[in-house]
Amino acid sequence: MAYATNTKETCINMKNILMGVHYKKYQWEVCGDFKVIAVLLGLQSDYTKYCCFLCDSDSRSQDSHCVGKSWPKRQSLTPGFKNVAHEPLIESSKILLPPLHIKLGLIKNFVKALDVNGSAFTYLREKFPRLSYEKVKAGVFVGPQIRELFKDHQFETVLSKKEKAAWESFKNVSNNFLGNFKAENFEELVENLMDSYKQLGSNMSLKMHFLNSHLDFFPPNCGDVSDEHNEQLYHDTSVMEQRYKGKWDVAMLADYCWIV
């Protein structure tokens, strides 16, 4: 079951959606972004101390994350304890981690660690002129833009030694673990990613935490649960909307169909 709706992500709305699709009867596995996962499991949103549904890691202790990856397992998801606000709507074992959103988080961490006055940041501003300075600074990119950067050898020439090491490790994990192909040395690739990001000065985000501490929770083939095709559709329609200035007509639809 993949979550795809414009409904506001609240516990009540999620509960109504699950009731509408008779979730209790079918008990599908669920894949959604981390905000949706938090709501489904009853966790508080935003930046909380205990934000992982699998363990009791302290998200506010960056030093602890740098020296270890093993944390005590959560014993339960009980409202009122360790940032749990509501009764969980599904079992945590039914959660599928979203590869695309982890990629988006990784590039965000990478870009936020760049020097805004450096050549790499300047290159990104020039390559994606439609993105505002604030969005580039915050590392807000989408899947097609990431794939475009992966193919851009010119981008690698403007990176410093530390930046290039982090970028290469990000590419390796994306192509050899978070996609349809899982390399035999995927654990080593993830370890290199964590080390290079640490050297770059990136903070430990929740998405990096799952790579660092819960590799065994990922599905055997991350590509099976990726929603990159859906995101490509949203990206393409967004481009069309800009081109036709919001006028949805037959010409716009024909143009999009021709591109597809």
pLDDT at 189: 97
Between 112 and 65, the higher pLDDT residue: 112
Cα distances (Å, whole numbers) of residue 165 to 21, 88, 170, 171, 205: 45, 40, 9, 10, 19
pLDDT at 76: 92
Query: pLDDT tens digits for 78-113?
Result: 999 999 999 999 999 999 998 999 999 999 999 999
67-81, 118-132, 157-171, 214-228: segment of lowest average pLDDT: 214-228
Task: Flag whether the pTM goes above 0.95.
Answer: no
Q: Indicate the residue type of 44.
A: Q
- Please state the three-class secondary structure of the chain as a single string: CECCCCCCCCHHHHHHHHHHCCHHHHCCCEECCHHHHHHHCCECCCCCCCCCCCECCCCCCHHHHHHCCCCCECCCCCCCCCCECCCCCCCHHHEECCHHHHHHHHHHHHHHCCCCCCHHHHHHHHHCCCCCHHHHHHCCCCHHHHHHHHCCHHHHHCCCHHHHHHHHHHHHHHHHCCCCCCCCCHHHHHHHHHHHHHHHCCCCCHHHHHHHHCHHHCCCCHHHHCCHHHHHHHHHHHHHHHHCCCCCCHHHHHHHHHHC
Query: pLDDT tens digits for 105-124?
Result: 999 999 999 999 999 999 99
pLDDT at 3: 47
d(CA 124, CA 126): 5
pLDDT band at 7 (very low <50, low <70, confident <90, very high): low
pLDDT of 238 over the 50 cut: yes
What are residue 31's DSSP bridge partners? Answer: 2, 96
Say if CB 235 and CB 104 are below 8 A apart. Answer: no
Six-digit token string for 206: 């929740």
Mean pLDDT in residue range 187-202:
96
d(CA 160, CA 192): 17
What are residue 84's DSSP bridge partners? Answer: 43
pLDDT at 125: 97
Say if CB 177 and CB 190 are below 8 A apart. Answer: yes
pLDDT band at 60 (very low <50, low <70, confident <90, very high): confident
Between 236 and 192, the higher pLDDT residue: 192
pLDDT at 5: 47
pLDDT at 240: 59
pLDDT at 67: 63
pLDDT of 6 over the 60 cut: no
Q: For residue 34, report the phi and psi dihedrals to the nearest 5 degrees.
A: -65, -25
- Spatial CA neighbour of 112 closest among 209, 204, 202: 202
Q: For residue 13, report the phi and psi dihedrals to the nearest 5 degrees.
A: -65, -40
Mean of all residue pLDDT scores within the chain: 87
- Spatial CA neighbour of 211 closest among 64, 61, 103: 103
pLDDT at 243: 67
Mean pLDDT in residue range 244-259:
66
Q: Indicate the residue type of 247.
A: K
